[in-house]
Amino acid sequence: MPSDPIVEHSISISAYMSGHEGANLAYVRHFGKKSDAVRATFKSLNADGFTIQYDTAQEKDLETVIPWPATASPPLTKREQVRPILEEMAKEAEEALGMPSSLQGPPPIQAMMKVQAMEEEAQARRQKELERQEAKDKFYHASVFWQVPIILGMWNVGYLAARSRVETGPWWAAQLQQTIGLGVIQWVWRISLGLHIGEAFIACGICLNRGWYSAGNTARWTISTLLFGFASMKELLKHGKQVEKMD
């Protein structure tokens, strides 16, 4: 079902029209057939009509829905249609009821266009903020130039550190263990693993402290830094500088 193209403008137009009690009272008395209404407020509108909230001498906060006239060929499809229709309806109702015209001088309903402009400006600001947030919530992979040697290096050191017997396995592994020493290799492995884990915690802390990233991207930065260490941390810090330039 297609969305109502007028509803999105309801808040701004209603906010303006709610201050025009004369026209609103004329609407509800004439088109709403509520001759006993003593006060009226424009509440909302859509493609098929608008809602007026009104009071009588006996009751308060009643509502009536007034459809757009058949001459307007409802449902309406553009906000530009609203202004002239409301003006014509106000004029017709006030003349029929013998009420003073609320449209003397510059038509007050023209101010709706100013309200609409304010709404569009607010929408533009929201869109800009959304785009800015999307630019902040980014994840960048570590450079492939570093990914391959880091993964190969960590895998090989881990493999050598896990070998308790130098007599088994590939000849090159036994040769390296004999040359470097198993104790040294295990020490290098523990240091490397500790650094990667530490950097991952730091990366997670940076993401949480910045407050820019979604849970998914926070996890990506953390896991990437756990795997690739400084190569991923470099991208994270670089992204922070890019965001600072945006601000």
Cβ 100 vs Cβ 22: under 8 Å: yes
**How far is Cα 233 from Cα 40, in angstroms, rounded to an integer?**
62
pLDDT beyond 80 at 63: yes
What percentage of the chain reaches a pLDDT higher than 90?
A: 46
Higher pLDDT, 117 or 157: 157
Range from 34-43, 94-103, 110-119 carrying the lowest mean pLDDT: 110-119
What percentage of the chain reaches a pLDDT higher than 70?
A: 88
Whether the full predicted model's pTM is greater than 0.75, yes or no, is no
**How far is Cα 242 from Cα 40, in angstroms, rounded to an integer?**
53
Q: In the structure, what pLDDT confidence band is assigned to residue 172 with cuts at 50, 70 and 90?
A: confident
pLDDT beyond 70 at 169: no
Beta strands in the chain (DSSP E): 37-45, 49-56, 62-67
pLDDT beyond 80 at 204: yes
Q: Bridge partners of 45?
A: 50
Helix, strand, coil share of the chain (percent; to 5): 65, 10, 25
Q: How many residues does the chain have?
A: 247
Mean of all residue pLDDT scores within the chain:
85
Whole-number Cα distances in Å, 204 to 150, 233, 244: 20, 10, 19
Q: What is the DSSP string of 171-191?
A: HHHHHHHHHH-HHHHHHHHHH
Domains plus CATH for the chain?
7-133 (3.20.180.10), 138-246 (no CATH)
Categorise residue 136: left if φ over 0, alpha if ψ from -120 to 50, beta otherwise. Answer: alpha
